[in-house]
Amino acid sequence: MSDAPVLFHTLPAANSMQLGVATLNSEKTLNALSKEMVQLLGKQLQAWDEDDSIAMVVLQAAGEKAFCAGGDLQNLYSSMREHHASDKKDDLLSNAYALDFFEQEYRLDYQIHTYRKPILCWGHGIVMGGGIGLMAGASHRVVTEKSRLAMPEIAIGLFPDVGGTWFLNRMPGKLGLFLALTCANINASDAVFVKLADLQLPHESKAELLARLQACEWSKQAEHNKLSNHLRLSHILHEQQRNANVVSNAGPLRQHFDLINQLCSAADLSAIISNICQLDASLLNDDVWLQKAIASLQKGSPTSAWLAHALQERGKHLSLAEIFRMELVAALACAQGHDFAEGIRALIVDKDQKPQWLPGSLDAFQLRDGERYLASLWAAEQHPLRDLGAVESLQKRAA
């Protein structure tokens, strides 16, 4: 097998069509998304979009542990350390690597969200951060019995980016805010409940599914009804699920839906955090899932908590393109600030698990300190992502 970070091949299908298959191939790093992987995926997706013989795309990953555990943070960390030591440390735009990485990653995520052809994402194993960014925009998203999803950015001083402001805001009730604040892991059942996935299938059924996809008579892209292939894929997936007799019990997020809504419906963030962290012991009992969520919030970056909340509030009525443009500014501000580099140091570099956040509490956070995360760094016509949204998607969610 090639050691390329992303592998591409095609599978023959009926009606002289083909399936494009993209495989994240960095198993040792749990398929963490590097800039090279982003570039390779973007280029190949564009080529397949223009190839009328490609009926649909399958996005999968090597190994059994993870689809994608997030972004590759090592190079970002090095760029931040170099930037912080330079005489341009106060200039958000002077970290060229961070700007290039986040711009290209968000551009790829948007490309997937607005892709003309069906994309089937097989989200087996760990799906976190940048992995959810890839998965969230796919037209057809499958999770398995081993899927575990999370947006853990508060633990490293970032925020739920890669469109997180968009898809977290569209979850039932206040669940999106809770997930942003607590890094809580969710299983396949909860992933479907909060609309991060479309359906659950057994991982062992994947080979059978691919065989059915190859046997399907797909429409050619030149035909008038370009949505027909989305409907064909939806039909095959739902039939596969019925045949597999998948039993999906409510996950912890759904079980605690009413409680989470109550906790996160306070008027301001301080009250929300207080509500979560001061949960009555009788409610916790032996609930390990809730206990871990509370512990993650207590250990997380106060600035990240503020930013996640602020972005969701500001992004309620923005388009997906506007969300990505807003998140790019916030990401660069995080790269220029203290907590993002400190979080990576504590979790990945030194691994002491003892980040020293600045400020150390939400009470010490000054609103004026947050202004740079929401600032306008470019005129509208100069924004690096200004072209997003210029062409409307030909389809979304035919599934």
> For the ranges 8-17, 69-78, 150-159, 360-369, which has the lowest average pLDDT?
360-369
Tell me, what DSSP letter sits at residue 186?
A: B
Whether the pLDDT of residue 12 is over 60: the answer is: yes
Paired tokens of 395: 């389809």
How far is it, in rounded angstroms, from Cα 32 to Cα 54? 27
Whether the pLDDT of residue 1 is over 70: the answer is: no
How far is it, in rounded angstroms, from Cα 127 to Cα 69? 5
How far is it, in rounded angstroms, from Cα 5 to Cα 44? 13
Q: Which domain holds residue 361?
A: 6-382
Whether the pLDDT of residue 7 is over 90: the answer is: yes
Residue 287 within a domain: yes
- Compute the average pLDDT of residues 68-91: 96
pLDDT at 368: 83
How far is it, in rounded angstroms, from Cα 31 to Cα 6? 9
Residue 375 within a domain: yes
Helix (H, G, I), strand (E, B) or coil at 166: helix
Paired tokens of 311: 């972005």
Domain containing residue 288: CATH number = 3.90.226.10
Question: Do 340 and 157 meet the contact criterion of CB atoms below 8 Å apart?
Answer: yes
Residue 399 within a domain: no
Question: Would you say how long the chain is, in residues?
Answer: 399
For the annotated catalytic residues, the residue numbers are 71, 130, 153, 161
Higher pLDDT, 357 or 220: 357
Whether the pLDDT of residue 39 is over 70: the answer is: yes
Whether the pLDDT of residue 395 is over 50: the answer is: no
Please provide residue 186's backbone torsions phi and psi, each rounded to the nearest 5 degrees.
Answer: -125, 150
pLDDT at 249: 87
Paired tokens of 146: 């081993």
What is the number of domains present in the chain? 1
Angle between helices 302-314 and 175-182 (to 10 degrees): 160
Of 355, 58, 103, 105, nearest to 209 by C-alpha is 58
Residue 388 within a domain: no
Helix (H, G, I), strand (E, B) or coil at 50: helix
Residue 241 within a domain: yes
Question: Do 233 and 217 meet the contact criterion of CB atoms below 8 Å apart?
Answer: no
Residue 398 within a domain: no
Task: List Cβ<8 Å contacts ≥24 apart for 341-347.
Answer: 341/77, 341/80, 341/81, 341/84, 341/157, 342/157, 343/155, 343/156, 343/157, 343/158, 343/301, 344/73, 344/76, 344/77, 344/80, 344/156, 344/157, 345/77, 347/155, 347/156
Q: How many CB atoms lie within 10 A of CB 350?
A: 11
Residue 58 within a domain: yes
Whether the pLDDT of residue 218 is over 80: the answer is: yes
- Compute the average pLDDT of residues 93-110: 98
How far is it, in rounded angstroms, from Cα 231 to Cα 100? 36
Q: Which residues of the chain form beta strands (DSSP E)?
A: 6-12, 18-24, 54-61, 66-68, 119-123, 126-128, 140-143, 148-150, 199-200
Distance of CA 20 to the CA centre of its chain: 22
Q: Which residues of 325-385 form beta strands (DSSP E)?
A: none
Of 150, 121, 151, 127, nearest to 307 by C-alpha is 151
- Reported as type and span, the H/E element at residue 329 is helix 320-336
Residue 68 gets the label, from left (phi > 0), alpha (psi -120 to 50) or beta, of beta
Q: Is the pTM of this model over 0.75?
A: yes
| Each residue's pLDDT tens digit, 311-335 | 999 999 999 999 999 999 999 999 9
N- to C-terminal Cα separation, the chain: 33
Q: What percent of the chain has pLDDT over 90?
A: 88
- Compute the average pLDDT of residues 349-369: 93
Whether the pLDDT of residue 393 is over 60: the answer is: no
Residue 370 vs residues 75, 233, 270: alpha-carbon distances, Å? 25, 44, 15
Question: Do 87 and 103 meet the contact criterion of CB atoms below 8 Å apart?
Answer: no
Residue 328 within a domain: yes
Residues 6+ apart with CB under 8 A from 218: 13, 14, 15, 17, 55, 56, 229, 232
pLDDT at 223: 53
Half-sphere exposure of 19 (CA within 13 A, CB side): 25
